[in-house]
Structure 1
């Protein structure tokens, strides 16, 4: 599911104290959130952000669209809840520019790791295992599986 990130605007009056409690149940599902910024570091409003499932990590073209959303006024987006242990790919479009996609795999360390102690993932076994389920030929909007501008 795709969700828009939200914010709460609270305007207390003079001598008013507001106590906000947000209760969240325990959950093992995950979310992907982020911010789209332009080359000047400013947030991009209304960018299209699309989430794909990577059915076969050995074949980056085995993408199946899951959902999409638009960034808010702060350039932020949110996808979730997502099942842990799956491989996802996020693509972003704004002003007819396609931003480099990023594959997110929660099971494997990445060479983009911030701590610097991660190791490069081993190559996929040959031949690659079959996809768990076939990818639809078109997404909900009639575009070929794999996204727009492909």
Structure 2
């Protein structure tokens, strides 16, 4: 099982996390990882340790903020006529684009008309076409 500290502790971009599982599989993963990069800077490792050992109160506070924001985005999208459901286990919202648009065209239109940046679903593969994220 993989877990990242990115969202939970606001450490996005720090590229720090952990893996738990079968010792043989983890040994193989360590061999691969040692050939992919040179590791994580020590200061970031210490920050990760502090995050894990420190107060966890921030997690519920952050989750409540993310949930309020998510609910507002879902409400606005649905009020605009875009079909969007709350995600079950993610921060990311997928919304169906209006008829007559590709996901890329709609994303461009949103940016040019109202200054809102979204990612065209097609960026995630052919099954993402027709959606924005």
Q: What TM-score bracket applies, with the shorter chain setting the length?
A: under 0.3
Q: Which has the higher contact order (CA 8 A, sep 6+)?
A: 1
TM-score (norm 2): 0.21
The structure where helix makes up a greater share of residues is: 2
The structure where strand makes up a greater share of residues is: 1
